[in-house]
């Protein structure tokens, strides 16, 4: 099979498209022939060496894909060859074939394409837990969404609006601001302006947001300033702009604010929970209540170019790799 792999950490140039042995089928597993693969910032972090990787090189990135069942182990009875499934948390997705535990295989509804499934799972499940678990959005919640024109940002905005909240999106350009508004943001601010003051005065009094969703990392101190005292919260779930500075817990006590982390793996803990969350996500899509924006598609062989594109901040939605 062909796979996008690398032998040492570094920039996108370390990636190469090469022939590698197909994974061996094991009990309780299927082989999935990928049709669409989701590219995420976590892949960039792993390529750079910021995230721990198990095993020895050559490494294969990717955790999110959708495709068709190629082979099933003898003890697998719930799936058949030819079934369409997707995965959100299985390693080595950047390949033509994936070894997938049956516990992690998520059946894809017939009216959702492989591209749509691969584009929505990781980011959609992330937006889902952020708005329901990390901070429970309710009618009237004022939420700030960093990188509101990005893949998670657009989906998170839609989740918050569906739950009755108000969204202030943050973006880096007027073009991206238009994308954030199209996703449903009530207000969009640019990072180049004094967005902290604008957020604090949004309700016509210096209070601040109920919750700030921060995927940038380096902006966490500003996010804490933008959150209201006596109950305001910041949810830190990404570091696209670099690691955040240390936070003094005394400030959290003095201002009665909360800083919490967010990681999808903490919620995909059992097959039943994985299935429940994915089913709810797919159903929102089928009902037309959740729209997925695919920003660009690249051939898997052009994976290095896809990484450069994602890191350039040009994308305003999901980037897919196509085997």
- Among 238, 261, 284, the domain boundary falls at 261
Is residue 7 a part of any domain in this protein? Answer: yes
172 and 254 assigned to the same domain: yes
For the whole model, what pTM was predicted? 0.90
Give the gyration radius of the chain's Cα atoms. 20
Total count of residues recorded for the chain? 323
Are residues 132 and 193 in contact, defined by beta-carbon separation less than 8 angstroms? no
Is residue 277 a part of any domain in this protein? Answer: yes
Q: Output the CA angle 200-202-204, nearest 5 degrees.
A: 100
pLDDT tens digits for range 226-252: 999 999 999 999 887 888 889 999 999
172 and 252 assigned to the same domain: yes
Which pLDDT score is estimated for 53? 79
207 and 280 assigned to the same domain: no
- Among 261, 284, 303, the domain boundary falls at 261
Are residues 23 and 322 in contact, defined by beta-carbon separation less than 8 angstroms? no
117 and 186 assigned to the same domain: no
For residue 194, give its domain range. 139-261
What parts of the chain have a pLDDT lower than 70? none
151 and 74 assigned to the same domain: no
Number of domains in the chain: 2
Please report, for residues 34, 51, 81, 241, 290, the alpha-carbon distance to residue 153 in angstroms, rounded to integers and kept in the order given: 26, 22, 36, 15, 13
Q: DSSP string of 57-72?
A: SSEE----EEEEEEEE
228 and 298 assigned to the same domain: no
Which pLDDT score is estimated for 269? 92
92 and 201 assigned to the same domain: no
Is residue 280 a part of any domain in this protein? Answer: yes
299 and 218 assigned to the same domain: no
Which one, of 133, 125, 130, lies nearest residue 144 by Cα? 130
100 and 30 assigned to the same domain: yes
195 and 298 assigned to the same domain: no
Is residue 157 a part of any domain in this protein? Answer: yes
Euclidean distance between CA atoms 3 and 95, whole angstroms = 4
Is residue 126 a part of any domain in this protein? Answer: no
Which one, of 65, 64, 56, lies nearest residue 6 by Cα? 56
- Among 214, 238, 261, the domain boundary falls at 261
237 and 289 assigned to the same domain: no
Is residue 282 a part of any domain in this protein? Answer: yes
107 and 218 assigned to the same domain: no
Is residue 216 a part of any domain in this protein? Answer: yes
| Residue 215: CATH number of its domain | 3.40.50.720
Is residue 225 a part of any domain in this protein? Answer: yes
Please report, for residues 39, 65, 205, 216, 282, the alpha-carbon distance to residue 94 in angstroms, rounded to integers and kept in the order given: 9, 8, 49, 25, 23
Tokens 């089913």 correspond to 279
| Residue 117: CATH number of its domain | 3.90.180.10
């Amino acid at each position: 099979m062909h796979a996008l792999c690398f032998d040492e950490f570094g920039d996108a140039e370390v990636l190469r498209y090469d022939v590698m042995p197909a994974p061996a089928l094991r009990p309780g597993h299927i082989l999935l022939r990928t049709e669409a693969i989701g590219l995420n910032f976590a892949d960039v972090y792993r390529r750079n060496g910021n995230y721990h990787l198990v095993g020895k090189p050559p490494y294969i990135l990717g955790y999110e894909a959708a495709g068709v069942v190629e082979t099933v182990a003898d003890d697998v009875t719930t799936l058949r060859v030819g079934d369409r499934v997707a995965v959100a948390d299985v390693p080595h997705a950047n390949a033509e074939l994936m070894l997938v535990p049956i516990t992690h295989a998520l059946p894809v509804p017939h009216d959702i394409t492989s591209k749509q499934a691969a584009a929505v799972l990781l980011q959609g499940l992330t937006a889902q837990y952020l708005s329901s678990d990390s901070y429970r959005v309710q009618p009237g919640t004022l939420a700030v969404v960093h990188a509101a024109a990005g893949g998670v940002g657009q989906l998170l905005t839609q989740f918050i609006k569906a739950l009755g909240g108000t969204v202030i999106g943050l973006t880096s350009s007027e073009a991206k601001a238009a994308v954030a508004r199209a996703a449903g943001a009530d207000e969009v601010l640019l990072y180049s302006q004094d967005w902290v003051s604008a957020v604090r005065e949004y309700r016509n009094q210096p209070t601040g947001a109920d919750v700030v969703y921060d995927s940038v990392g380096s902006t966490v101190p500003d996010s804490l300033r933008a959150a209201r005292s006596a109950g305001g919260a910041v949810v830190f779930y990404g570091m696209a702009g670099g690691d955040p500075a240390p936070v003094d817990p005394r400030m959290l006590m003095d201002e009665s604010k909360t800083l919490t982390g967010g990681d999808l793996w903490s919620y995909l803990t059992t097959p039943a929970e994985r299935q429940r969350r994915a089913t709810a996500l797919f159903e929102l899509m089928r009902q037309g209540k959740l729209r997925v924006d695919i920003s660009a598609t690249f051939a898997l062989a052009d994976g290095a170019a896809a990484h450069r594109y994602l890191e350039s901040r040009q994308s305003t939605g999901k980037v897919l790799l196509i085997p």
